[in-house]
């Protein structure tokens, strides 16, 4: 009995497998993104969710290979129930039109090979095992393939159930499962698929996407695309509708451009003033700029929140710089009497170092140094070190003070080494003296520059 049933199953499978023809061409499916306000935007291929945005390529012409425009809309404005249902419906139709038949033929071939194996197997237990495994594979197939040909699969499952029952009886089994008949899942609720957009519908979707976009640049791009589409497809759309929509899109585009120009002028003017006031440590003036930004933004309708946020952050950075500079200047003003006093006290040591420069230049250049010049360097260095050592520098000038003293001592070394080189006629020692002289001149210049920087009122860095 069970052999006849298996043979029947094999014959039925062969008939069912050949019942349909070849699949359709593998074209990219057209999806839809439904908004909560009822707007439906076509998506060429599936959309992607990036952060809080839904990104997709929207066809902007009613052609077989349409130009595409990248669109993104807020995810919280999407009707996800309807969009997801439509997505599943589109996937199912695309699968059925492209791969379903070849997949089903592959399944059929697998089941045929399994039944051939059963026919060639003498052991009843082994035959039962093979048929049950085939039934399990067949029962799971519709759920993973959009319920394609589920009615045919159900017929095969019923035949296999009969065969399994017969095999179990032949093997002496006493208990029989009562749930052999296949349970094929009902397909989920489908969202009816829409036909490809007409030329007019494509243009309307571009305009709808422009209204949904939060990005000024995206809006301008979409509006420009809509205008170009009206001009391109004018003969395929109602003339009055085309004229009105083009005029509306052009007006919106010009308004966007005017708004851009206004915010650009606000940014340029404000940043220029912020830089000037930061250099002047004008904290109150920069605070007034922040109030002006918010006031002007309100007058413009708050149309560029990203631009305003970036501008406010830049001005707040200038405000922070102005506050720091004001603090530095206030401290400098408090320290000014001590700095002036130190500057007066250090006038003589700096004059003494200036007297050393000609002699040090001669040593550095190896251009000749007389005994009197070298003696002068030794005497002046002693006076400089004594005078500087008697002066207590302010904390902010301690390093520069030490540099000047080091420069003087290095000058003394240069003079002594030059004397030794002259007496010994040693050119190598003369070059050592040259290096010491160069170092003394460099340290002296650095000491003067650092002191002058401290004496000046702090500037914005």
Q: What is the pTM of this model?
A: 0.68
Closest by CA position to 45, among listed 63, 59, 60, 64: 59
- Say how many residues make up the chain: 461
**Contact call for residues 384 and 346 (beta carbons, < 8 A):** no
**Contact call for residues 336 and 452 (beta carbons, < 8 A):** no
Closest by CA position to 113, among listed 2, 23, 19, 17: 17
CA 299 to chain centre: 32
Closest by CA position to 30, among listed 201, 224, 241: 201
Q: At which residue do the structure tokens 């791969």 appear?
A: 99
**Contact call for residues 252 and 222 (beta carbons, < 8 A):** no
Each residue's pLDDT, cut to its tens digit, for the chain (461 residues) gives 455 555 555 545 544 444 444 333 345 679 999 999 999 999 999 999 999 999 999 999 988 889 999 999 999 999 999 999 999 999 988 888 888 899 889 888 888 888 788 788 888 788 888 888 888 888 888 888 888 888 888 888 888 888 788 778 777 665 445 444 444 455 566 788 999 999 999 999 999 999 999 899 999 999 999 999 999 998 899 999 999 999 999 999 999 999 999 999 999 999 999 999 999 999 999 999 999 999 999 999 999 999 999 999 999 999 999 999 999 999 999 999 999 999 999 999 999 999 999 999 999 999 999 999 999 999 999 999 999 999 999 999 999 999 999 999 999 999 999 999 999 999 999 999 999 999 999 999 999 999 999 999 999 98
Looking at residue 27, its pLDDT comes to 59
**Contact call for residues 223 and 256 (beta carbons, < 8 A):** yes
Q: At which residue do the structure tokens 């001669």 appear?
A: 362
The alpha-helical segments, DSSP class H, found in 280-304 are 283-299
Looking at residue 245, its pLDDT comes to 96
**What is the per-residue pLDDT across 204-222, written as a single tens digit (0 to 9) for each?**
999 999 999 989 999 999 9
């Amino acid at each position: 009995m069970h052999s006849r049933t298996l043979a029947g199953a094999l014959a039925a499978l062969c008939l069912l497998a050949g019942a349909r023809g070849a699949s359709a061409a593998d074209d990219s499916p057209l999806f839809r993104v439904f908004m909560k306000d009822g707007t439906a935007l076509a998506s060429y291929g599936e959309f992607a969710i990036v952060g809080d945005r839904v990104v997709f390529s929207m066809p902007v012409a009613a052609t077989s290979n349409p130009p595409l425009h990248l669109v993104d809309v807020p995810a919280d404005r999407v009707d996800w129930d309807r969009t997801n249902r439509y997505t599943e419906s589109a996937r199912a139709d695309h699968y059925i039109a492209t791969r379903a038949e070849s997949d089903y033929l592959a399944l059929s071939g697998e089941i045929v090979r399994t039944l051939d194996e059963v026919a060639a197997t003498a052991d009843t237990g082994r035959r039962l095992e093979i048929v049950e495994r085939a039934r399990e594979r067949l029962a799971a197939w519709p759920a993973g393939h959009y319920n394609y040909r589920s009615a045919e699969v159900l017929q095969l499952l019923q035949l296999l159930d009969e065969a399994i029952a017969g095999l179990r009886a032949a093997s002496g089994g006493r208990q029989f499962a009562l749930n052999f008949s296949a349970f094929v899942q009902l397909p989920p609720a489908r969202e009816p698929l829409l036909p490809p957009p007409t030329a007019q519908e494509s243009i309307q979707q571009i305009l709808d996407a422009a209204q949904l976009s939060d990005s000024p640049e995206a809006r301008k791009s979409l509006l420009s695309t809509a205008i170009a589409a009206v001009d391109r497809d004018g003969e395929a759309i109602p003339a009055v509708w085309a004229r009105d929509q083009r005029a509306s899109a052009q007006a919106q585009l010009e308004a966007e451009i005017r708004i851009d120009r206004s915010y650009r002028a606000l940014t340029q003017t404000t940043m220029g003033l912020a830089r000037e006031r930061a250099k002047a440590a004008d904290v109150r003036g920069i605070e007034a700029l922040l109030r002006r930004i918010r006031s002007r933004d309100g007058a413009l309708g708050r149309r560029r929140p990203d631009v305003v946020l970036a501008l406010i952050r830049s001005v707040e950075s200038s405000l922070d710089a102005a506050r720091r500079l004001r603090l530095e200047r206030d401290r400098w003003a408090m320290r000014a009497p001590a700095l002036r006093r130190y500057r007066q006290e250090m006038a003589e040591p700096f004059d003494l170092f200036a007297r050393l420069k000609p002699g040090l230049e001669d040593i550095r250049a190896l251009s000749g140094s007389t005994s009197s010049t070298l003696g002068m360097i030794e005497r002046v260095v002693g006076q400089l070190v004594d005078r500087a050592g008697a002066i207590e520098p302010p904390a902010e000038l301690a390093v520069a003070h030490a540099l000047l003293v080091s420069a003087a001592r290095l000058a003394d070394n240069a003079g002594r080494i030059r004397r030794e080189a002259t007496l010994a006629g040693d050119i190598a020692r003369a070059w050592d003296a040259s290096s010491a002289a160069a170092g003394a001149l460099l340290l002296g210049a650095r000491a003067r520059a650092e002191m002058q920087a401290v004496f000046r009122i702090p500037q914005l860095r």
